[in-house]
Amino acid sequence: MEMEAETKTKTPIKTHLALLFNSLILTIGQVGGPMLLRIYFTHGGQKRWLAAWTNTAGFPILLIPIALAPRRRQLGLPRRLFISCVLLGFLVGFVCYLYAYGAAYLPVSVHSLISSSQLVFTAVSAYLVVRQKFTPYSVNAVVLMTLGSAALGLHMEKDVPEGETLRKYVLGFCMTVGAACFHGLFLTLVEYAQAKAKAGGVAVNFDVAMQVQFVILVAATFFCTVPMIVNRDFQTMSKEAAEFGLGKTNYYLVVFLAVVALQLNIIGVLGVVMTSSSLFAGILSSLLVPVQQVFAVIFLREGFSAEKGMALALCLWGFASHLYGGYKATLARKQQDQEEDPEPEVNRIETLLDKHDNNHV
C-alpha cells in the first residue's frame, strides 16, 4: 500500500518538473529566436530557407539526453508512430518557412502578436481532432484574440519597416497568419499521435518522448535542407556573411545563436505538449507575447503604436479568459470526482490510521 502511494506521488512531481523545465526553455527560445532572426534580416540576410532551417538544425543536441537516459526501456519507435513523426516533421518545416517569411518583413512586435493567434487555431483544431470541448471562456478567448490580430491590420502602413514595401509587409502578415494556423494544427496532431500511441500499448516515457522529438526535428531539417541545396544557399553563405551589416564574424554568431534559441523553442513546445496538452502549449506561447514586445522595444528600438497596444490588450484579455475557464473546469471536475467516488479519501485516511497503529505496536 505504501509503495503504491509513493509511486502515485512521485509521478506527478516528475511530470510537473518536466513541464517546468520545458516551459523555461520554451520561454528562452520564443523570446530570443525571433529577435535574432529579425537582426539577421535587418542587417542584410536574405535567405528565408536558411532562417527556416535554423529552427530545427540544432536537433543533434537531443542525442545527449537520449544517450544519457538512466534507464533505457525502448530504443526505436513503432512503425506507425515513426511515420507519424516524419509527417509531423514535414509540417514543422513548412511552418518554419512561413514564420521565417513573416520575420523577413515584419517587426518582431507585430510578428509575435500575429503568432499568438495560434491559440485560436489550436483551440479549434483541438475541438475537431481530440474532441476538446469549447466553453464560453474559450470561445471568448478565440473571439478576442481574433480581434487582436485584426486590430494589427488597421493602418498597417504605419508599421512597415524602413526599406520594405507595403506589398511585402502584407505578404509577410498573411504568411505569419498561415504559420499560426498550421502551428496550432501541429500542436494538436502531436497530442493526437501521442494518444494513439498510448492506446496502441506504447509507453510514452522519457526515451520515447526524446525519440519522437528527434525524428520530428530530423524530418523538418530535411524538409528545409532540400530547397537550400537547390537554391545553393550553403555555397553563397560566405558571400552573404561578407556583406552582412554587422560583420562576417557576427553573421555566423547570429546564425549560430538563432539555431540554439529556435531549437530550444521547438524542443520546449514539443515537451510542453507531451507533458501537458497542446492547448496549454498554445496558452503559454500567447502569455510570452508581452515579454517579446518589451524586448523588441528595448533592444530593437521598435515603435509601439496604439494598434499594437490594442492588440496586446485583447490578446491578454483572451488569454486571461481562457486561463480562468480552465481553472473553473478543473474545480468542477474535482468536485464531480469527489461526489462520484468519495471512497479514495476514506481509504487514504484508513491507511494513515493503520500506519499510525502499526508504528505504536
pLDDT, tens digit, 9 for 90 and up, residues 313-360: 877 787 788 778 777 877 877 777 676 655 554 454 455 455 545 555
Indicate the domain borders of the chain.
2-360
% of the chain surpassing 70 pLDDT: 82
Q: Kindly give the residue spans of alpha helices, DSSP state H, lying in the chain.
A: 2-42, 48-53, 63-67, 79-105, 108-115, 118-129, 136-152, 166-199, 206-230, 237-242, 248-275, 278-287, 289-299, 306-340, 343-360
Residue 2 pLDDT > 70, yes or no? no
80-94, 254-268, 303-317: which range is least confident on average? 303-317
Number of residues that make up the chain = 361
Classify 199 as helix, strand or coil.
Answer: helix
pLDDT at 74 over 70: no
- Work out the average pLDDT over 232-251: 94
CA-wise closest residue to 302 among 15, 51, 107: 107
Distance of CA 44 to the CA centre of its chain: 28
Whole-number Å distance between alpha carbons of 218 and 275: 21
Write down the residue that cell numbers 473571439 correspond to.
Answer: 143
98-120 pLDDT, tens digit per residue, is 999 999 988 887 787 788 778 77
> Per mean pLDDT, which of 15-19, 28-32, 204-208 is the most reliable?
28-32
Q: What distance in Å separates the CA atoms of residue 122 and residue 120, rounded to the nearest whole number?
A: 5
pLDDT in tens, 266-310: 888 888 887 877 777 777 887 787 778 778 878 877 777 777 777
